[in-house]
């Protein structure tokens, strides 16, 4: 199963997910992952609104902004969204090399 | 890589930096070729691509196994007809082709062994039933033993009279 983000806002349950079509749509509208270095804020908010395209395509931009402003732990959310976006590419490539000799790590407190 | 082994994989994506859409476009023909539907590639769960790749690998292994088995049958058949290939042999006869396909699993092989042993046992039991009368070629039951001797003695006495 693909990585997804779930939350409830205004008694409605939302599922954020990326498909290859939604990433292609975002890129067509001018989104580029290189922007993460030059204009990170814009890029990350666009990434967040793009994650609505798969399951909640007709959500109004104003509502997305409202939800975005009320969400906490944004850094972790963006990391997750980036991981979800990159998964659309990572799953296309042979992962046999990744499994060899990579060192596993996990965060601790 | 062995002789005749065919290796193929999805196109390399690490050539030069490009947009994700370009990467998808480049990979798309490979996934269509291994049977992934177009809609599923673009709109489905992104992790399905990996499953399709793994399924394709299994299919390739099965195909390779089938080809190997076919080669084995051909080799076996050639070995069995090889007596005919001796040019100076006067009465060369080919060996019969295998009566049934090769057992592919241990279980199947064990079942066949049991079946063969049962047949062997049945044949040996039938061979041991010598005390019972055996029908002759004309259909008359040939009686041996006590009854046969009795009739012979009666016949001798009748002649001597």
Q: B15 in contact with A at a CB cutoff of 8 Å?
A: no
Euclidean distance between CA atoms A26 and B129, whole angstroms: 88
Most confident by average pLDDT, A73-77, B71-75, B103-107 = B71-75
Indicate the pTM of the whole model.
Answer: 0.68
Most confident by average pLDDT, A30-34, B11-15, B102-106 = B102-106
> According to the model, what pLDDT value does residue B2 have?
47
CA distance A70 to chain B (A): 28
**pLDDT 10s digits, A3-56:** 899 989 988 999 999 999 999 999 998 888 887 777 777 888 899 999 999 999
Decide: A82 and A47 in contact? Cβ < 8 Å.
Answer: yes
Q: Which of residues 22-61 of A touch B (CB under 8 A)?
A: 23-24, 27-28, 32-34
Q: A12 in contact with B at a CB cutoff of 8 Å?
A: no
> According to the model, what pLDDT value does residue B8 have?
66
Q: How are the residues of chain A apportioned to helix, strand and coil, as percentages rounded to the nearest 5? A: 50, 10, 40
- Cβ–Cβ gap A2/B53 under 8 Å: no
What is the ipTM for the molecules in this complex?
0.81
CA distance B59 to chain A (A): 17
Per-residue pLDDT at B10 exceeds 70 = no
Per-residue pLDDT at B134 exceeds 60 = no
For chain B, give the number of residues.
161
Per-residue pLDDT at B160 exceeds 80 = no
User: What's the Cα-to-Cα distance from B99 to each of A84, B90, B95, B110, B113, rounded to whole Å?
Assistant: 57, 27, 11, 17, 14
> According to the model, what pLDDT value does residue B30 have?
95
CA distance B67 to chain A (A): 26
> According to the model, what pLDDT value does residue B136 have?
54
List helix spans (H) across B13-103. 20-33, 38-43, 48-81
Per-residue pLDDT at B16 exceeds 70 = no
- Cβ–Cβ gap B43/A20 under 8 Å: yes
Question: Mean pLDDT score of chain B, rounded to an integer?
Answer: 82
């Amino acid at each position: 199963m693909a990585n997804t983000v779930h939350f409830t806002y205004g008694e409605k349950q939302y599922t954020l997910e990326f498909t290859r079509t939604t990433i292609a749509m975002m890129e067509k509208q001018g989104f580029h992952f290189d922007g993460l270095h030059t204009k990170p804020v814009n890029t990350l908010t666009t990434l967040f609104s793009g994650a609505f395209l798969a399951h909640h395509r007709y959500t109004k931009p104003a509502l997305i902004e409202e939800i975005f402003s009320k969400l906490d732990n944004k850094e972790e959310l963006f990391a997750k969204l980036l991981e979800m976006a990159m998964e659309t590419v990572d799953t296309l490539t042979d992962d046999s090399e990744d499994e060899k000799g990579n060192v596993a790590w996990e965060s601790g407190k | 890589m062995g002789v005749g082994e065919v290796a193929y994989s999805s196109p390399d994506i690490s050539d030069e930096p490009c947009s994700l859409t370009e990467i998808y476009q480049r990979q798309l023909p490979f996934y269509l070729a291994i049977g992934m539907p177009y809609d599923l590639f673009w709109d489905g769960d992104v992790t399905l691509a990996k499953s399709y790749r793994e399924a394709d690998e299994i299919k390739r292994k099965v195909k390779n196994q089938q080809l190997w088995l076919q080669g084995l049958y051909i080799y076996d058949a050639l070995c069995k007809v090889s007596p005919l290939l001796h040019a100076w042999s006067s009465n060369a006869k080919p060996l019969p082709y295998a009566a049934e396909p090769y057992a592919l699993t241990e279980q199947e092989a064990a079942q066949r062994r049991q079946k063969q042993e049962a047949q062997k046992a049945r044949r040996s039991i039938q061979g041991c039933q010598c005390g019972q009368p055996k029908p002759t070629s004309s259909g008359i039951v040939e009686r041996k033993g006590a009854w046969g001797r009795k009739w012979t003695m009666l016949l001798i006495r009748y002649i001597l009279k």
